[in-house]
């Protein structure tokens, strides 16, 4: 695998359709972040920008990172359609496997940061956790199982972590962090051909003590 293979993979993936995701914020993000005082937010694997735009529209200063230039271009267009002020979101095209957070964040969000190709997810999440500011939060949402419309696909290289798995992978000192949420939640979703299903997501929200 060449250095640029992951970026090429994801740009090809986004090129398959004019829009891959809904453009709306993830349900777990909305449910857990609503009510938090806005500050600096880091959106890991921002995709086409639904979460980043939602956060920015509610007063957060967002750094949004994704490996796919195609996805970032669509995210910028989404922000423009929502009249997000210039500078409210810093868009970064980079590989999270090597990208380093600059400074600290009041919220780090990683929603469905899972990949069918090789990706150092645990290292990325641990690095991001170290960038959570005192008093800040980290939200990790992941697929707890493959969707029914993915039957027949090879999932051998993918992980579908439990809440306990996710907490253990973060390697947080218990004396410095509180676990606010560690559970599996159902979510109504629709497949690429419109098929409806109830999916299971692992949701983790941890808080770094002040």
Q: What is the average per-residue pLDDT within 82-97?
A: 95
Distance of CA 114 to the CA centre of its chain: 9
CA atoms lying within 13 Å on the CB side of residue 17: 7
| 5-9+26-144+155-208 belongs to CATH 3.40.50.150 | yes
Confidence of residue 147 (pLDDT cuts 50, 70, 90): confident
Helix axes 163-170, 121-129, angle to 10 degrees: 60
CA distance 148 to 196: 9
CA distance 92 to 72: 8
Tokens of 160: 């579908």
For residue 120, give the H/E element and its range.
none
Residue 119 has pLDDT above 90, yes or no: no
- Whether pTM exceeds 0.75: yes
pLDDT for 4? 52
- Give me the DSSP letters along 136-193: EEEEEEEESS--GGGTTS--TT-----HHHHHHHHT--TTTEEEEEEEEEEEEEE-TT
Radius of gyration over alpha carbons of the chain, in Å? Answer: 16
Q: What is the pLDDT of residues 18-44, one digit of tens each?
A: 777 777 899 999 999 999 999 999 999
Distance of CA 171 to the CA centre of its chain: 19
CA angle 187, 111, 99 (to 5 degrees): 170
Q: What is the pLDDT of residues 180-202, one digit of tens each?
A: 999 999 988 777 777 788 899 99
Name the nearest CA neighbour of 166 among 198, 204, 134. 204
Mean pLDDT of the chain: 89
Q: What is the average per-residue pLDDT within 63-72?
A: 95
For 30, phi then psi, to 5°, come to -60, -45
Query: Which is higher by pLDDT, 166 or 19?
Result: 166
Q: What is the average per-residue pLDDT within 2-27?
A: 78
């Amino acid at each position: 695998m060449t250095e640029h293979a992951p970026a090429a993979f994801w740009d090809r993936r986004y090129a398959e359709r004019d829009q891959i995701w809904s453009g709306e914020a993830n349900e777990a993000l909305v449910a857990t972040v609503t009510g938090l005082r806005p500050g600096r937010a880091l959106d890991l694997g921002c995709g086409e920008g639904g979460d980043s735009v939602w956060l920015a529209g509610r007063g957060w200063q967002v750094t949004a990172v994704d490996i796919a230039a195609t996805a970032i271009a669509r995210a910028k267009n989404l922000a423009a359609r929502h009249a997000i002020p210039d500078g409210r979101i810093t868009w970064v095209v980079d590989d999270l496997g090597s990208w380093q957070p600059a400074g600290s964040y009041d919220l780090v969000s990683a929603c469905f940061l899972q990949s069918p190709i090789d990706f150092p997810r645990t290292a990325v999440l641990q690095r991001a956790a170290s960038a959570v500011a005192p008093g800040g939060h980290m939200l990790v949402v992941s697929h707890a199982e493959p969707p029914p419309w993915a039957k027949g696909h090879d999932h051998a290289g993918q992980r579908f972590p439990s809440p306990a798995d996710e907490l253990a992978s973060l390697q947080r000192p218990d004396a410095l962090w509180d676990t606010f949420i560690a559970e599996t939640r159902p979510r109504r979703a629709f497949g690429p051909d419109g098929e409806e299903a109830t999916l299971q997501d692992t949701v983790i929200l941890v808080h770094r003590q002040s």
